Amino acid sequence: MTESGHYIVRFRTFVIIWVLLGTLTALTVVASRIDLGAGNIWVALGIAATKSALVIFFFMNLRQESRLFKIGLLVLLSIVAIFIGLTFFDVLYR
Amino acid sequence: MSETPSRYGGFFTESPRSGILGWVTSTDHKRIGLLYLGCIVTMFIVGAVLGLALRLQLFEPGTGIMEAQTYNATFTVHGVIMIFLFIIPSIPAAFGNLLLPIQIGARDVSFPRVNLLSWYCYIAGAILAVTAIFSGGGPPDTGWTFYVPFSTQTTTNVNLAVSAAFMLGFSSILTGINFVTTIHRLRCKGMGWGKLPLFVWTLYATAWIQVLATPMIGITLALIFVERIFGAGLFDVAKGGDPILFQHLFWIYSHPAVYIMILPGMGVISEIIPVFARKPLFGYWAMALSSLAIAFAGSLVWAHHMYASGMSDMAIMIFSFLTFIVAIPSAIKIFNWVSTLYKGSIQLAPPMLYALSFIFLFAIGGLGGLALGAAAADIHLHDTTFVVGHFHYTMFGGTGFAFFAALHYWLPKFFARMYNHKIATLAWALIFVGFNVTYMAMQAVGIQGMPRRYYDYLPQFGPLNMVATIGSWILAVGLIIMFVNLWRGIRYGTPVGKNPWGGATLEWEVPSPPPMENFGAEDPVVTRGPYDFKGVIADEP
């Protein structure tokens, strides 16, 4: 949040995000019980990434921040994706 | 530390608080740098004594001075101390703190209190590490890598040792955050990115790795804790876990960590070579950007430590290929240092002797690294003493020699006194010879098949082990002479002025020792490059 501006997020938005997070958590549990082979990993990581994005953009107010912070986050996420991706060259080809 | 020239004391005498409190509560970057330096040198001496004990044990086959368990504990504690308490913080935390703000024309780092906090985290980590040796189930015996499943099952004091490394990680992250912010925000007028000293560039690249990679080791070490205390099964095959996953997580940090260790050393060498060749550094931008390239490429090669772990062949091929890429920016640095020397007016002062040794030893270590990076050769060499020799060529021959070079180059600046050059040269010669005898013999016996981390060995490995141990004694004598000479130098040496070497970077324009806040009433304005020696002459000795 910039020093000059103070954004007020409606209470309803927080509740919606909270419900969404709960739903996605339930979806993680359900997806883990269905055998999708290597697809299980992609589903689990996809849901986790979505949940993280909701928390960062809404609860941590990245939505209202400058582009620099958003690019910074994107770079960090790319690095994590590279780490996980390279690890999968081992896990998936064993 | 307290005895400085009577005529002018700089930051030694200008602190708002006097005595020990003036040091342990100071937020001045130079005082914090010296606090780090004192602790780091102490830890180096402790680690070196343990290393000597290991070599003494291996002097000849059979049980010598210690049993197997003691040997395992000794090499573990030697590794933990040397890696986490000496090499990682050595140049960035000690010399980075001492010099970074002055070299960019700033009065301190961006977050001085966080800087002091990082030192307290280091001290807490050091206390935990030492306590781990003398408490619980005895000193940890896992090696500094804490590999599972052994680390989750051994009854030795792994929990405390892991906590120590965890705490030291915080110290490293705090330093990294401080340096990135300081370099971005506090450069003085005229100090563009193209005018930054190369030491600052390498600290910048290092700081990014510290910030981005260190949390990985924190998480990994916390998982060992979870395994040991709750039996979570993350790395236990019987519970659906994966022990190789630990090695991935560990090396995702610990391989970039070797660049945290070596990059600042490369920065030191880039400062020293132009000054003692009296020539601008060859290929400034190639040198600056190669630091970033090493930091980036070095973060993608971690699994080359794992070729023999049971990892997939596909991963072995990919990580082997990526490993060879790191050689390119590393070679750029070597070639540019040599090119800087070409037709230079070379002065073989003690800092330069260590800097030249760095190039020689790091090149040997680097080429050994290529042999290990090639999967086929690695299968033969994996877990032999060749790896130990290679690691010491890069880390001790590299970072260690760069640290000694930095001591000889910058201590006269901060203490305003000069050590004895003849004794320093003698010490360098002993260290250089002792080093090569020790670690070349270790590499040779490794190629013959001698396994690492064994307290006893077959008789055919005897002669080279004896040579390596004798080499370690020569090395130890050289180190003792070097430290005594430096200590006597900063206490009783000849007083020197602000620029004894004829350096062109900003630290040589302020008095020796530098004053509090580094510069007078007015901030400096930079108008020339860090290696522009026109009109710069050294003080008369």
Query: How many Å lie between the alpha carbon of A31 and the closest alpha carbon of chain B?
Result: 18
Beta carbons of B319 and A92 less than 8 Å apart: no
Chain A partners within 8 Å of B312 (Cβ):
89-94
Render pLDDT for B41-92 as a digit per residue (tens, 0 to 9): 999 999 999 999 999 999 999 888 999 999 999 999 999 899 999 999 999 9
- In this prediction, residue B1 has a pLDDT band, given cuts at 50, 70 and 90, of very low
Section B155-165 average pLDDT: 90
Domain assignment present for residue A25? The answer is yes
Contacts 24+ apart (CB under 8 A), A46-54: A49/A77, A50/A24, A51/A21, A51/A24, A51/A25, A54/A17, A54/A20, A54/A21
Query: How many Å lie between the alpha carbon of B294 and the closest alpha carbon of chain A?
Result: 15
**Domains of chain B listed by start with CATH number:** 28-509 (1.20.210.10)
Residue B309: pLDDT above 50?
yes
Task: Give residue A9's pLDDT.
Answer: 80
Structural domain that includes position A51: 11-91
Q: Give the CA angle between residues A6, A8, A11 to the nearest 5°.
A: 160
Asked if B244 is an interface residue toward chain A (Cβ–Cβ < 8 A), one would say yes
Asked if B56 is an interface residue toward chain A (Cβ–Cβ < 8 A), one would say no
Specify the number of domains making up chain A.
1
Indicate the helix (H) or strand (E) that contains B116.
Answer: helix B112-134
Domain assignment present for residue A58? The answer is yes
Residue B198: pLDDT above 90?
yes
Chain B partners within 8 Å of A77 (Cβ):
none
Section B481-487 average pLDDT: 98
Residue B233: pLDDT above 70?
yes
**C-alpha B311: how far from chain center:** 30
SS3 of B346, please?
coil
Which of A82, A83, A93 has the CB atom closest to B314's CB atom?
Answer: A93
Section A5-31 average pLDDT: 90
Cα Rg of chain B, angstroms: 23
Closest to B353 (Cα-Cα) out of B269, B278, B417, B436 = B269
User: How does the average pLDDT of chain B come out, rounded?
Assistant: 93
Closest to B247 (Cα-Cα) out of B389, B150, B384, B324 = B150
Which of B212, B245, B318 has the CB atom closest to A89's CB atom?
Answer: B318
| Sign (positive or negative) of CA dihedral B181, B182, B183, B185 | positive
Query: How many Å lie between the alpha carbon of B217 and the closest alpha carbon of chain A?
Result: 13
For B252, name the nearest residue in chain A, comparing CA atoms only.
Answer: A83
Chain B partners within 8 Å of A91 (Cβ):
242, 312
Query: How many Å lie between the alpha carbon of A11 and the closest alpha carbon of chain B?
Result: 33
Q: How many CB atoms lie within 10 A of CB A37?
A: 7
Query: How many Å lie between the alpha carbon of B300 and the closest alpha carbon of chain A?
Result: 7
Q: Chain A window 57-76: which residues touch B at a Cβ cutoff of 8 Å? A: 76
Task: Give residue B7's pLDDT.
Answer: 64
Asked if B219 is an interface residue toward chain A (Cβ–Cβ < 8 A), one would say no
Whether omega before B149 lies within 30 degrees of 0, making that bond cis, reads: yes
User: B495 - beta bridge partners?
Assistant: B417
What tokens appear for B350 in the block?
A: 């003690």
The Cα B191–Cα B526 span in angstroms is: 6
Closest to A82 (Cα-Cα) out of B173, B241, B296 = B296
Question: Which residue out of A90, A91, A93 would a mutagenesis test of the B interface target, given it has the greatest number of B Cβ atoms within 10 Å?
Answer: A90
Query: How many Å lie between the alpha carbon of B355 and the closest alpha carbon of chain A?
Result: 34
Beta carbons of B312 and A87 less than 8 Å apart: no
Domain assignment present for residue A6? The answer is no
Task: Give residue B166's pLDDT.
Answer: 92
The Cα B122–Cα B134 span in angstroms is: 19
Task: Give residue A36's pLDDT.
Answer: 86
- In this prediction, residue B520 has a pLDDT band, given cuts at 50, 70 and 90, of confident
Domain assignment present for residue A2? The answer is no
**Locus of tokens 């040579």:** B467
Task: Give residue A54's pLDDT.
Answer: 93
Residue B500: pLDDT above 60?
yes
Chain B partners within 8 Å of A90 (Cβ):
244, 248, 303, 311-312, 314-315
Q: How many CB atoms lie within 10 A of CB B452?
A: 17
Section A38-44 average pLDDT: 87
Asked if A38 is an interface residue toward chain B (Cβ–Cβ < 8 A), one would say no
Residue A2: pLDDT above 60?
no
B320-to-A82, B206, B331 alpha-carbon distances in Å:
16, 23, 18
Domain assignment present for residue A87? The answer is yes
Asked if B212 is an interface residue toward chain A (Cβ–Cβ < 8 A), one would say yes
Does the ipTM surpass 0.85? no
Which of A79, A83, A94 has the CB atom closest to B312's CB atom?
Answer: A94
Domain assignment present for residue A18? The answer is yes
Task: Give residue A73's pLDDT.
Answer: 87
Asked if B132 is an interface residue toward chain A (Cβ–Cβ < 8 A), one would say no
Residue A5: pLDDT above 80?
no
- In this prediction, residue B522 has a pLDDT band, given cuts at 50, 70 and 90, of confident
Chain B partners within 8 Å of A92 (Cβ):
312
Torsion angle in degrees (nearest 10) through CA of A57, A63, A64, A70: 100
Chain B partners within 8 Å of A83 (Cβ):
216, 252
In this structure, are residues B529 and B280 in contact, taking their beta carbons and an 8 Å threshold?
A: yes
Beta carbons of A87 and B244 less than 8 Å apart: no
List Cβ neighbours of B378 (8 Å cut-off, separation of 6 or more).
B304, B307, B308, B371, B372
Chain A partners within 8 Å of B216 (Cβ):
83
Question: Which residue out of B180, B185, B312, B322 would a mutagenesis test of the A interface target, given it has the greatest number of A Cβ atoms within 10 Å?
Answer: B312
Render pLDDT for B402-442 as a digit per residue (tens, 0 to 9): 999 999 999 999 999 999 999 999 999 999 999 999 999 99
Domain assignment present for residue A80? The answer is yes
Beta carbons of B312 and A90 less than 8 Å apart: yes
Residue B6: pLDDT above 60?
no
Beta carbons of B248 and A90 less than 8 Å apart: yes
Domain assignment present for residue A1? The answer is no
Which of B216, B300, B315 has the CB atom closest to A90's CB atom?
Answer: B315
Quickly count helices (H) and strands (E) in chain B.
Answer: 18, 2
Beta carbons of B315 and A93 less than 8 Å apart: yes
Task: Give residue B5's pLDDT.
Answer: 47
Query: How many Å lie between the alpha carbon of A49 and the closest alpha carbon of chain B?
Result: 18
User: B417 - beta bridge partners?
Assistant: B495
The Cα B84–Cα B234 span in angstroms is: 25
Render pLDDT for B372-387 as a digit per residue (tens, 0 to 9): 999 999 999 999 999 9
